[in-house]
Structure 1
Amino acid sequence: MLKKLFQSFRSPLRRAQHPRSTPEVLGNNQHSLRRGEISRNAVVVVERLQRAGYQAYLVGGCVRDLLLDLRPKDFDVATNATPEQVRAEFRNARVIGRRFKLAHVQFGREIIEVATFRANHPQGDEEENSNQSSRNESGRILRDNVYGSLEDDAQRRDFTINALYYDPSSERILDYAHGVHDIRNRLVRLIGIPEQRYQEDPVRMLRAARFAAKLGFEIEKHSAAPIRELAPMLREIPSARLFDEVLKLFLGGKAERTFELLVEYDLYAPLFPASAAALKRNPQYTGQLIRQALINTDERIRQGKPVTPAFLFAALLWPALPARAAQLQERGMAPIPAMQEAAHVLIMEQVQRTAIPKRFSIPIREIWDMQERLPRRSGKRADLLLENPRFRAGYDFLLLRESAGEETDGLGEWWTDYQDASDSQRRNMIRELSNKDDQPAGQRRRRGGSRRRRGPRTDGAPDTSGE
């Protein structure tokens, strides 16, 4: 009797390390999820697979989000049908992936992702073939196509809150890892032994931070404990995959909180080493600039406005740039070539860590280049700059720098006024600049960047779209 009582009160950590072989089943009177909230196409996929004799469930984030009264971004299905069997059932399906093979069933613009139940990963490669998982020396999973049962699939999922299976036919939730418990307690908890699960895939550390930020949860203490020590393993992840992960981290609407968690758990430096070094050197300026850029990004996403990774990466990397340029100037290089060379090297270094495509790296350089051109306004230069397609992004970036405390002698305010001025007013503004330049240095009136500016935008947020 005592033994049974003890087992029934095992800690969530113990239960998470050893998921149940039989799930806790929650009927439709025990949870808030309703069939009508689910994509009709997702229900069609599940029910057609079930009619064909397969097991099929909605799984993961869509179940979690609906329990939290959030709108899911997409609807994923888990089944014991292989990707090829799914394709045989749906003419509108195709098999994708190599590291993780799955099927995409397309309904117009909506894609329902269908994954086959996966099993635990073997520790060796003695049976390596097309339906086999393999690891490298550190334990990181290189391929993940070991098919298994529903119970296997629940055990190999990363977090308890993502190991929930919903059957729209019976409206029941199957909970193998006490995920509903952790949702109620607002915890991100790994399934299994945290060190081992992070070693299998270090990106899980980034996912833990992303889910905690997105959902307003805390990372459960045992799941959080190994992160700082294992964070350097992220350097082993391919740069293309890390670029995709960075977009998920910072373009999900909770970028500021995500940044705070990345810094707290030493995950920021493996992603942005030069920026992390600048944050350590000058935490007030660097932190303010990055946080303001992320706040602006979150606000634009909340308002449904476009954002681009180019502006975001320009802001994340900028704090490392002036010091690099200053070093080159100390070696005798002129200021503008020094800034251009420093920008080139900095972006090349970052590309090695997160594979920024040229469609973003080129605009980053153009935004930075605009910071050197905006102070040069004499003659016709100001009007030519206004016509430059990167002016808006460069101007918004200037305001971002000033908001972080950079002193620009009122440059942002000048450009704000110039955009709204008439032709005659613009000529007077240029003439005043010339007169100011002719004055002795001691007689010039300096204006700080802290004065209130009348910006042309109505939402108060710099345009991070780069358009």
Structure 2
Amino acid sequence: MLKKLFQSFRSPLRLAKHTRSTPEVLTSRQHNLRRGHKISRHAVSVVERLQHAGYQAYLVGGCVRDLLLDLEPKDFDVATSATPEQVRAEFRNARVIGRRFKLVHVHFGREIIEVATFRANHPQGEEEENSSLSARHESGRILRDNVYGSLEDDAQRRDFTINALYFDVTAERILDYARGVHDIRNRLIRLIGDPEQRFLEDPVRMLRAVRFAAKLDFDIEKHTAAPIVRLAPMLRDIPSARLFDEVLKLFLAGYAERTFELLLEYGLFAPLFPASAAALKHNPDYTRRLIQQALANTDQRIHQGKPVTPAFLFAALLWPALPGRVAQLQDRGMPPIPAMQEAAHDLIAEQCQRIAVPKRFTIPIREIWDMQERLPRRSGKRADLLLENPRFRAGYDFLLLRESAGDETDGLGDWWTDYQEASDSERRGMIRDLSASSSSDSTGAPRKRRRGGKRRRAGSGETSGQPSGE
């Protein structure tokens, strides 16, 4: 069915409708880009060296877009008529990488300038079947794409109009083949060509549309947005390792809270996080609050230049699906901590079928969750042992996050805040108070001890999202 659907949209004429064979040329009087302003000198040298060797070469894509928006580009990409092997021959500090898309990385210390050869439209029909440079899944998804072409071809096959801009650093002119400058001025994310075809070629473009819309505060143009909800399930066909990389780009760019809302709006969250999407339906208010608070904390830390760990992020995104599974196991007679461990193992294993979260993150995710069962158990020497645990800080931050979302813990977060600030004698008194308390439930129902000093709460940005020991 998907193959027939794709074939019905394969006309090259449809792909070309947003591009022109002759670009609109913006001279230095019509834009604010200057080779010495916010542009990497290494990127300029790569372009100039390729041009001096007789090749066409331009800065392209996101760096040009961001410069026009007066943003600081995070990296610089170059498009050229030189093949990867020809680029490699020009630079001793270059490496050819990739199979799906063969690229060249030119290294200047820690900075990498990515150089890509102009690419053409994917071959069609018998030409496609006979091509060793390209391959396509029956759904229409492109698996390999090393078909080289002209500058005009390259512009036509790019995904969004705002990414199809070429800057000639020598003449300081912009070549615009797809009215990308127009869409930047109107703050629109628009696919080049027929949206259905382009999403079928690579469903990850749906995530890219959301990511750019969140990052730039743009709207997704209505024709581009129209097929997304219907085609969202195609993300299930994308390799789980690739989706892990895409999810990090979505949530660790400083715009995670807005990204989450757009993923929900366009039906893209469920294919990525099926168990969490089910929790959103079952318990929408709590699930949304917890995830939004975690993402807001993550955005805050990124904007403050503080480190974040994907482990805490994934722990929050998946947590709403966990308590129900733990409760089911406890109903069958399993003790709380083993029930937590088994439910966590199963949930993470299921999630990794969709998004291949590496083991270096799944282990701390489970430890953060495990702490939620251990933190209420404070009698005797347990509190001090927990305090010394390398995952205590992450578990404590996660407890505060849960409380901010509405979890009732009988003041457990306040108790642990007091305990960390207390002297040794005060800690012993707090433990005695627990033992003397008439409450015997798992949270201990502690008598709150108000001390001077400001309490750390979830959302303060002090520790949330960065466990100690990471």
TM-score range, shorter chain: over 0.9
Contact 1:118 1:145 in 2 (8 A): yes
Structure 1 pair 237/438, CA: closer, same or farther in 2 (3 Å)? closer
1:15 Cα offset (Å) = 10
Contact 2:66 2:72 in 1 (8 A): yes
Deviating beyond 4 angstroms after TM superposition, the runs of 4 or more aligned structure 1 residues are 125-131, 437-441, 443-447, 456-462
Distance 2:208 2:441 in 1: 57
The equivalent of 2:346 in structure 1 is 345
Distance 2:445 2:224 in 1: 58
Structure 1 pair 444/352, CA: closer, same or farther in 2 (3 Å)? closer
Distance 2:319 2:357 in 1: 15
Contact 1:198 1:204 in 2 (8 A): yes
Deviations 1:119-177 (A, max 9, x none): 01123464557862211111100001010000000000000000000000000000000
Q: Which residue identity does 2:39 align to in structure 1?
A: I
Deviations 1:49-103 (A, max 9, x none): 0000000000000000010011000000000101100000000001000000010
Q: Report the secondary structure of 1:320's partner residue.
A: helix
The equivalent of 1:69 in structure 2 is 70
Q: Which residue identity does 2:247 align to in structure 1?
A: V
Distance 2:74 2:322 in 1: 36
Distance 1:456 1:404 in 2: 12
Distance 2:139 2:67 in 1: 36
1:32 Cα offset (Å) = 1.2
Residues 1:306 and 2:301 aligned together: no
Q: Report the secondary structure of 2:197's partner residue.
A: helix
Q: How does 1:37-52 map to 2 (within 5 A)?
A: 37-52=38-53
1:114 Cα offset (Å) = 0.0
Q: Which residue identity does 1:180 align to in structure 2?
A: V
Residues 1:112 and 2:113 aligned together: yes
Q: TM-score w.r.t. structure 2 length?
A: 0.92
Q: CA RMSD in A?
A: 2.1
Distance 1:34 1:426 in 2: 62
Contact 1:19 1:191 in 2 (8 A): yes
Contact 1:32 1:67 in 2 (8 A): yes
The equivalent of 2:405 in structure 1 is 404
Q: Report the secondary structure of 2:257's partner residue.
A: helix
Q: Which residue identity does 2:91 align to in structure 1?
A: F
1:392 Cα offset (Å) = 0.5
Deviations 1:392-441 (A, max 9, x none): 00000000000000000000000011111111111111111111156899
Contact 1:399 1:462 in 2 (8 A): no
1:252 Cα offset (Å) = 0.4
The equivalent of 1:465 in structure 2 is 466
Q: How does 1:444-459 map to 2 (within 5 A)?
A: 454-455=455-456, 459=460
The equivalent of 1:17 in structure 2 is 17
Q: Which runs of 5+ in 1 are unaligned?
A: 1-13
Identical counterparts, % of pairs? 80
Q: How does 1:15-164 map to 2 (within 5 A)?
A: 17-36=17-36, 37-124=38-125, 126-127=127-128, 132-164=133-165
Structure 1 pair 371/439, CA: closer, same or farther in 2 (3 Å)? closer
Distance 1:92 1:129 in 2: 35
The equivalent of 1:265 in structure 2 is 266
1:330 Cα offset (Å) = 2.5
Contact 1:16 1:177 in 2 (8 A): no
Contact 1:293 1:312 in 2 (8 A): yes
Q: TM-score w.r.t. structure 1 length?
A: 0.93
The equivalent of 2:292 in structure 1 is 291
The equivalent of 1:10 in structure 2 is none
1:334 Cα offset (Å) = 2.5
Q: Which runs of 5+ in 2 are unaligned?
A: 1-13
Structure 1 pair 282/151, CA: closer, same or farther in 2 (3 Å)? same
